[in-house]
Structure 1
Amino acid sequence: MSELSKPKEDLQDPGEAQGLEEEQLLGAEGGEAAPPSASSPPVSSSATEEALPQEALNKMVANMVKFLLRKYQTKEPTSDAELLNAVLRDNQEHYPVVFRQAVECVLLVFGVDVKEVDPRKHIYIMVPTLGLTCDAMQRGGQGLPKAGLLVVVLSVILQNRDRGPEEEIWGALNKMGVYVGREHSIFGEPRELLTQVWVRDGYLEYRQVPDSAPARYEFLWGPRAFAETSKGKFTEAFLLRVKQRALRAFRLLSAEAEGEEEEGA
């Protein structure tokens, strides 16, 4: 069983992106720039992206995501040469599009930023996005990173004027395939994660809306979120990409993980 198989015009309404599901994952339309934290790999690109079946492309992206996550967990760098030889092998002509989409998936779903530290040799390191260290606090940093989901929740709170009604939070996560009471292949049971783990760790506050009858609840940024990152970083560096692409990234990797679970059953 693979590692992934373990158990308004804003982010408030990511349903507006549902019509984009049939497009290339993460907006890989011809000519789109690579993420700002990772340079385009030095492999000549061709018009293979359109000819490559979507299922095959998704599989290659998922395999590269798993490889990058292993490097993140072991705190090891990687390179274009290693990714080409270890992940794609006989499909190296597809490296530019697979690399670009894998970097976006790792960032949006898992909250891991791929940064190039040696432009000449194209060597990369993986670091927590926006300074959030929540993954290091969970089981000694083991298991799949969950900071990407935390970024989405914190973003929804910002989009609701710093107070995220519970129904808005779950509405956004439902459209990404994350449901209360349903074990997620990447994030586990989300209610426990949001209302207990991240509240205990200080990333979120979860409280009853004052004077609400019947009782309603809302999420706010917790003190640790303010200590490790800032609203400005979200607005400037992340919110646009979350709004446009997170829905597709979450659904792709969830589908890949569920498919592998079925194959291993």
Structure 2
Amino acid sequence: MEVVFGIDVKKDNTAKHSDVLVSKMNLPHNGILHHGRGFSKTGLLMNLLDVIFMKGNCTTEEDIWDFLGKMNIYAGKRHFIFGEPKKLITQDLVQLKYLEYQQVPGSDPACYELLWGLRAHAEASKMRVLEFLARINHLDSSAFHFGYEEALKDEEERAQASGCPSVPPAVPSTPSEAEANSAL
């Protein structure tokens, strides 16, 4: 449910021993793009944001389709949950400002790339999508060394921007991690 729909099942704190479904993001209509129809797109969006983040905050459309192909999601082939995925990714999620879709400058033939959109930056964080990636892969977030360091930096910047006390920076555990961090 987490990978496909982007929701967690959490225990409700009532005496009824019931569970509650909690969305990973605050998408309008819980990620259902056409009010009253279809399934939540939150899981797909979280996966797309993960791929973009792990590819250096910008990735080619080709990389996205390679990744989605592993999930049996293909451009031009209607998916029973996501509908037509190319339209969903390059139009619907772009229109909602969760993704940016732009031509790679100087590419001939034209190639396109995807980046996080303004709403993705506002409603998600790099740490949140990294935790999502870690959870679906049964790993700890810190297992993604380079991404984890960047996510910590992002968390610190968000805390400073909101006026909250800053998060202490992570100390690189190896010299190579320190060199990788200085390259940021």
Normalising to structure 1: TM-score of the pair? 0.49
Q: CA deviation digits over 1:150-176, x for unaligned, max 9?
A: 111111001110001111000000110
Is this contact kept in 2: 1:202–1:222, CA < 8 A? yes
**Greater helix proportion:** 1
Supply the distance in 2 between the matched residues of 1:221 and 1:166 (Cα, whole angstroms).
Answer: 13
Residues 170-189 of structure 1 mapped to structure 2, 5 A cutoff:
170-189=65-84
User: Are positions 1:163 and 2:61 aligned together?
Assistant: no
Provide the rounded CA distance (Å) in 2 between the counterparts of 1:153 and 1:135.
19
Show structure 1 runs of 5+ residues with no match. Answer: 1-105, 246-265
Residue 118 of structure 1 is matched in structure 2 by 13
Find the residue that maps to 1:198 and give its secondary structure.
helix
Show the counterpart of 1:132: 26
Q: Residue type matched to 2:134 in 1? A: L
Distance 1:187 1:244, change over 3 A: farther
Higher relative contact order (CA 8 A, sep 6+): 1
1:191 CA displacement? 0.3
Q: SS state of the match for residue 224, structure 1?
A: helix
- Equivalent residue for 2:135, pick from 241, 250, 260: 241
Partner of 1:205: 100
- Counterpart in the other structure of 1:258: none
Q: Work out the CA distance in 2 between the residues paired with 1:195 and 1:135.
A: 20
CA contact (8 A) 2:38 2:81 kept: no
SS in 2 for 1:118: coil
Is the 8 Å Cα contact of residues 181 and 190 (structure 1) preserved in structure 2? yes
The equivalent of 2:162 in structure 1 is none
- Structure 2 counterparts to residues 2-41 of structure 1, below 5 A: none
Q: Give the superposition deviation at 1:144.
A: 1.1
Deviations 1:38-74 (CA, angstroms, capped at 9, x unpaired): xxxxxxxxxxxxxxxxxxxxxxxxxxxxxxxxxxxxx
